[in-house]
Amino acid sequence: DQIIIVNATSLSIDERTSFKTQLETDQNISNTSLCSTPPGETLFTFGVTLPGNSGDEDKRLVFYQLFVDENFLTTMGISLKEGRYFSERISADSLTSFVINEAGAKAIGKNPISQQIETPNIYTGTRAIKNVVGVISDFHFSSFHSAVEPLILEFSPKYAGYVLIRFNPTNT
C-alpha cells in the first residue's frame, strides 16, 4: 500500500488537523488519518477488566492500545466486522466507546458489542469504563512475523500525533 507516516507529535492538535485538511485537497492523496503510534512500532499494553472481575488480576485481559481519529479505518484499509466505528459527530465516542479487533473479541469470549471494559487511563492515572461499539478485522499493527494480538482503538485525536497519508494509486 502507498501510505506514508509523518511524525507530527511536536504540533498541536489544531495544527495537525489543519495539516490533514491541507493534505486532503491534493488529488494525489485519497485519505489521511491520525494515530498515536504508527503501524510497525511498539504499542502500549495494559490489562483490561470485564465487569464482575474487578481486582481479580488473573482474569485481566492484555490488550494493546491505539488512539485514532475517525478516518483511521479508511486510511488503513481495515474493514468493520460488526457494530460501528467512531464518528466525530458523536461527542461521547471519546468518553464512552472502544472499538476492538477480532483478536480482542475472541479474548472476551462472548458477543463484545456493548460489552463494558475497564481500562487504565495512561494520562490521568485513573480507570475508565467504556463500551465496545465495534469490531474491526485483525491487521498487523506490529510485526508481520508475530500473531495479531487483542487491540483497543480509542477515539482521541488529541493523543494521536502521527499523520497517516494514503496516496491515490491512480495519480501516483
DSSP 8-state secondary structure symbol assigned to residue 85:
-
Residue partners of 42: CB distance under 8 A and separation at least 6: 142
- With a threshold of 0.85, does the pTM exceed it? yes
Q: Read off the C-alpha cell for 150.
A: 487483542
Write the single-letter amino acid at 57: E
104: closest CA among 139, 74, 77? 139
Reported in sequence order, the residue ranges of 17-159 that DSSP labels E, i.e. its strands, are 29-35, 44-48, 61-68, 80-83, 97-101, 116-120, 127-136, 151-155
Q: For the segment 69-118, what is each residue's pLDDT rounded down to a tens digit?
A: 999 999 999 999 999 999 989 988 988 999 999 999 999 888 889 888 88
Q: For the segment 129-159, what is each residue's pLDDT rounded down to a tens digit?
A: 899 999 999 988 876 677 888 999 999 999 9
